[in-house]
Amino acid sequence: MNRHDPRNVVENLRNHLAAHDKPLVFLFGAGTSSAVNIAPAVRSGEKQNHQPLVPSMGPLTERCKAAIVNLGKPFSNAWSRLESECKRVNIEAILTRLHLKIDAIGTGEKLLGLTKEELERMESIIRKTIAGAVMLTEDMIPNKVPHDDFSAWVKQAVRTVPLEIFTTNYDILFERAFEHAHIPFFDGFIGAYEPFFYGDSFKLEDLLPRDKWVRLWKIHGSVNWKLVKHTGGDMVIRTQPMGTGEMILPSHRKYDESRKQPYLSLMDRLGQMLGREHALLISCGYGFGDQHINAVIFSVLDNRRTSSVIALHFGELSSEDPLVKWSKERRNFTVLGANAGVIGGQWGEWQLLNPVDDQTHSFMDTAFDSDAIKPDSTDASLEEGRLGKMRLVDFNWFCKFLNSMERKSEGEL
């Protein structure tokens, strides 16, 4: 069986992150928000539970389903029929199918056993449920979240090429962390009274803030976006977080005339950035379940061999996973899981060439969980000390790793 040395992986990743003159892009998914743990502390010796601050896609889908089931049997039946039409059941797929029904239904007709007004009510309840799950008040958020570690690294890093962050999340945890760290960032909106989305800023690089600013792009919309009517037409503005979820865009509505400008502009930006010479995209908390985003990424990787992607996959990988298959087909697409990874198109489990010892544990322990060897270790314990789990795939550990980079000297490698 092929093996990969996690120390080489960690050192290579650190070198990539330290290259301040190369295009660096992050893609953060729902897993980065659900990584925030709000479970009560346990007594010493007990295992800490994990209660996510923001539910991941599966629990969020179940929460939306429960809200619809509570409306009565006709709505419950409609949900079940939508599920049967989805190849992959999640709230994005459900909303997409639901919108297709709303667009297709005529006056006096019924689809899924519901009238158009009832289908629209179903849509409204789903959006409000999503918004309610991601609307966070300050008292709900722990004193320290991984986004704070990420912001600390951003603030310390000296870059000559602006950092670009894409996220599919609807919450405002990244915005909050950047503001707390006094990091200037641009999200595509301009103005002071009702900041509005300015799509023209994506067309000319000179219109965008330079390297001292972070660029934050929310591909699926945000809980603090709102659609307003002006004399010149509909406009997307940024405001306080709202419970309506009207500008949450995980579905068919991405292409509505009034909503498509942010989505299409941000998708174009993703392809443009990844397509730059020697660009690197690092994904974390993103499960590669959005086929539109995947199409952009894979198209660039297939046609721009100097571009590369490193996907941090939370949990363990199987050699039969679709993500592994896609990575095997592209040498510039690296996938790291807790137990194994695909590097240069080759699948392999983690095994250290040399066990972590007292001299290397301060560098490696944040990235890779293994037993450090002792001077009097036996051959059996030496072999066991070469095995372990990749911690970087967890957003919490990844942010700790980033935040530790600037504090470590080259002599510790």
CA dist list (Å): 301 to 274, 277, 307: 8, 12, 6
| 8 Å CB contact between 227 and 246 | yes
**Residues in the chain with pLDDT < 50?**
257-258, 409-413
- Tell me how far apart the alpha carbons of residues 181 and 187 are, in angstroms, rounded to a whole number: 17
For residue 386, the model assigns a pLDDT of 80
For residue 380, the model assigns a pLDDT of 52
State the sign of the Cα–Cα–Cα–Cα dihedral 198, 199, 204, 210.
Answer: positive
Q: Which of these, 153, 178, 157, lies nearest to 167 by C-alpha position?
A: 178
Tally of CB atoms within 10 A around 339: 15
CA dist list (Å): 139 to 55, 128, 142, 386: 17, 21, 8, 43
The identity of residue 98, as a single letter, is: L
pTM for this one?
0.90
Residue at token pair 């797929």:
93
Alpha-carbon dihedral 204, 205, 207, 211, rounded to 10 degrees: 170
**Helix (H/G/I), strand (E/B), else coil: 37:** strand
